[in-house]
Amino acid sequence: MDEVETPRLTIHEVARLAGVSHQTVSRYFRHNETLKPATRAKIDSVVQQFNYRPNLVARSMRTRRTNRLAITLPVSSYQWPVRLLRAASATAHEEGFQLEVVSVEGDPRARAERVLELAASGQVEGILSLTPMEIDPAASPVPVVVTGDYDDKLRGVNELADASPVQEIVEYLASLGHRVFFHIAGAQSWASARNRKLVYEETVERLGLTSYGVALGDWSPQSGYDAVRGLPDGCGVTAIVAGNDHVAMGAVRGALSRGWRVPGDVSVFGWDDEELGRFATPSLSTVAVDREVQGREAMARLIAAVRGEPAPPPPERSINRVIVRESAGPPPRRA
């Protein structure tokens, strides 16, 4: 038997079923905060029961609005900020917008020209750029919001390069009794790697601890493995601060290959809270970076600009959080 397609509800039918006006339903989908909780609950019930979604095409024809936003990224050979993009996309969809991701080539000036072309095309109502651009906001017919959290090659800068958790990591390990530390850094072309190396060195010196040195890695597990394998016997290292979780997992494997227990003989900290690290043996101590909140906040700023609303105030919070798991513990007892 052929399946009969259920007719699509209209906004007027949603209003009738909820016992409200269609203007009220329209305000509901614009996330108008003046709606009473009881009114919002009635509309919620109908929307969820019938899985109703606004007809964006019809709305666009009436208002000459596209209900489309864009995120622009530079062409990168490394990786895209997937978690940020996922959160930004979800925020846009929740607000009734469709989202497209556009790669733009060239230096900041060339990217600005490409963004202005997109802004003037009539295809989108606003643009979020994840990298710096030489652009005059007044020259764009639609709002353009620049986050500035990534550089031309999508390497983290500004808040993403905040290395202050390294201080907390070293202080925590020192409180457990660790005195000899080793840092396996990320690629020094990244501001985040340079900052973590600097904070590590400053904190070790301030606390009167000993650093066996810094190995300059490349963010790969292999660099972590090689750095630990290269430590001489009797070096005294009991605490390793790695540039990221990939490096840290390589360091753990290098330690185990030498017969060192983790954390019985050496403790290891990573950075990024990669999912694999949570399920590794031992589970990896790390720094969780809330890239999702960055995506949501950046998109919220853009949507506010598109709607002519005040920009949401910057939150008072850190996107970084130190997480202690099985790979960190007290140093071995000396006879």
Structural domains of the chain, with CATH:
11-54 (1.10.260.40), 64-154 (3.40.50.2300), 159-289 (3.40.50.2300)
Preceding omega of 282 cis (within 30 degrees of 0): yes
- In terms of Cβ atoms closer than 10 Å to its own Cβ (0-12, 13-18, 19+), residue 101 is middle
pLDDT, tens digit, 9 for 90 and up, residues 187-202: 888 888 888 999 999 9
**Phi, psi dihedral angles at 289 (to 5 degrees):** -110, 115
> Are the C-beta atoms of 224 and 249 separated by less than 8 Å?
yes
pLDDT, tens digit, 9 for 90 and up, residues 172-182: 999 999 999 99
Across 32-36, 127-131, 154-158, 211-215, the highest mean pLDDT is recorded for 211-215
In sequence order, what are the residues at sequence separation of 6 or more whose Cβ sits closer than 8 angstroms to the Cβ of residue 194? 188
**Phi, psi dihedral angles at 252 (to 5 degrees):** -60, -45
Mean pLDDT of 53-79: 64
User: pLDDT at residue 65 above 80?
Assistant: no
Mean pLDDT of 64-83: 74
Q: Which two tokens stand for residue 277?
A: 């690290």
Q: Cα dist. 212→121, 229, 240, 267, 335 in Å?
A: 57, 14, 10, 14, 22
Provide, rounded to the nearest whole percent, the portion of the chain with pLDDT above 70.
Answer: 84
Rounded CA separation 276/49 (Å): 38
Q: Can you give the pLDDT at residue 80?
A: 66
User: pLDDT at residue 78 above 70?
Assistant: no
Rounded CA separation 178/265 (Å): 11
User: pLDDT at residue 57 above 70?
Assistant: no
User: pLDDT at residue 91 above 60?
Assistant: yes
Give the type of residue at 279: F
Q: How many CA atoms lie within 13 A of 16 on its CB side?
A: 5
Q: Can you give the pLDDT at residue 75?
A: 67
* Nearest partner of 128 among 77, 158, 80, 89, judged by Cα: 89
Q: Can you give the pLDDT at residue 77?
A: 46
* Nearest partner of 131 among 149, 117, 118, judged by Cα: 149
Mean pLDDT of 253-281: 95
> What HEC string does 8-48 produce?
CCCHHHHHHHHCCCHHHHHHHHCCCCCCCHHHHHHHHHHHH
pTM more than 0.85: no
